[in-house]
Structure 1
Amino acid sequence: MTPKTLLCFGDSNTHGTMPMTSLSDTRRFQISSRWPSVMAKALGEGWHVLAEGHPGRTSVHDDPIEGAHKNARRTLLAVLESHRPINLVIIMLGTNDLKSRFQVNALEIALGVEKLVHTVRTSPCGVDQGAPDVLVVAPPPLNNAGVLMDFFEGGVEKSIGFAQTFAAMGERVGVPVWNAGSACSMSQIDGIHLDEDGHTALGLALATEVKKLGH
């Protein structure tokens, strides 16, 4: 039997970036410790899990400091076409949209993620040239700690609204949404990245959610 393909489309937490102790800290967890790998192991041999995590990735914003290539809307369709046919896409984005340079709130971030859902649903990158299924993951709230918080002024308060605004978006457009904050939290070291225990908890919880979707 051909394994089902699951694409994990996200930012540095999907990439496996370790909690940062300085702005130049680019360490990454080993592959087996990252949440897509934990999820893949829990799902078993019937799945081919692809981790497409880009540090600094936003939902729909060109980053004036880090570059326009951080905009997920510019790259998502190319990624889908590269890996088709895809059975399921998990989108976990929104954390980087909280950077103060973008000046958006939780509702606007959810609307940005909605644009990515639309891209997946209108693509012919699923089985038999249909569209892949989508699961949206609302990122955990930020922790007000560490060297990165100057970039996220006001972000902690905004991120607390993710669970509600993402859920409302999902109900409105008919896409399943799961709140990652129910299973894990951001590290106290830098406030925006998962530690190794967080990756484990997220991967196991998402494996359960994927099974609930009937895949």
Structure 2
Amino acid sequence: MKTVLCYGDSLTWGYDAAGQGRRHAFEDRWPSVLQAELGGAARVIPEGLNGRTTAFDDHLADCDRNGARTLPTILASHAPLDLIILLLGTNDMKSFICGRAIGARQGMGRLIDIVRGLTYPMAAAAPKVLLVSPPAVRETEDINFSAMFGESIAESRKLAPLYAALAAEVNCDFFDAGTVAETTPLDGIHLDAENTRRIGAALAPKVRDMLEI
């Protein structure tokens, strides 16, 4: 059986903007939908953390949100892996974190380097990489989220083309989640249950092709 690791932020964790920060039902989260679509051909491991960045520190956070710093431990913990899906970048858009799409692109490049350069337990091979750009940030009437992300709307729209170019440069696969899902106006960055399910369903054919299952 193949093993897939989904490494992401609150979009992977399943943050429900309508539920005051609670999680979507397990079966609605996109890694769960991907697992269901793949059936018994693969095991899908969800590894989402609210606020996780690609490679930037958040000194206001209660735990380590720097994706580049925590990734090696998580890769080694779950090895051997056949595929890692990287869906990050939204939190990089916070003005006090980075605020620029190019920063997220550079951070994603760092994550890919980590995946391919790690010495894996039992001499396991490095997994394949699927780079996924998040749906763009949108306007919201939520005061807090608007203050954190309002200036990042235009920058967030640059993520997909930057990630696509990075994927072509380093020879990994790419998918634009914004082609099948959109963020909720409740807070401008998260997904309702329907849209998170769409991502899982849309990724399934891509994953099947990559893993030849």
Q: TM-score with structure 2 length normalisation?
A: 0.93
- How much has 1:103 moved relative to structure 2? 3.5
What is the number of equivalent residue pairs in this alignment? 210
- How much has 1:152 moved relative to structure 2? 1.2
Secondary structure at 1:181 match in 2:
helix
- In 1: Cα distance, 2:48 partner to 2:58 partner: 16
- How much has 1:182 moved relative to structure 2? 0.6
Give the root-mean-square deviation of aligned CA atoms.
1.6
Matched with 2:70 is 75
- How much has 1:104 moved relative to structure 2? 3.6
- In 1: Cα distance, 2:85 partner to 2:34 partner: 12
- How much has 1:9 moved relative to structure 2? 0.2
Matched with 1:11 is 9
- Paired AA for residue 44 in structure 1: G
Q: Give the counterpart of 1:123 among 118, 121, 124.
A: 118
Note closer, same or farther for the CA distance 1:214–1:6 as it changes in structure 2 (3 Å cut): closer
- In 2: Cα distance, 1:125 partner to 1:4 partner: 17
Gaps of 5+ in 1: none
Higher helix share: 2
State the 4+ residue runs in structure 1 displaced beyond 6 angstroms.
none
Gaps of 5+ in 2: none
Matched with 2:60 is 65
Note closer, same or farther for the CA distance 1:124–1:132 as it changes in structure 2 (3 Å cut): farther
- Paired AA for residue 137 in structure 1: V
Q: Give the counterpart of 2:162 among 161, 165, 170.
A: 165
- Paired AA for residue 27 in structure 1: R
Q: Give the counterpart of 1:97 among 67, 88, 92.
A: 92
Cα deviation digits, residues 21-52 of structure 1 (max 9, x gap): 7xxx3211111110000011001101110000
Q: TM-score with structure 1 length normalisation?
A: 0.93
Matched with 1:53 is 48
- How much has 1:64 moved relative to structure 2? 2.1
Q: Give the counterpart of 2:135 among 122, 140, 146.
A: 140
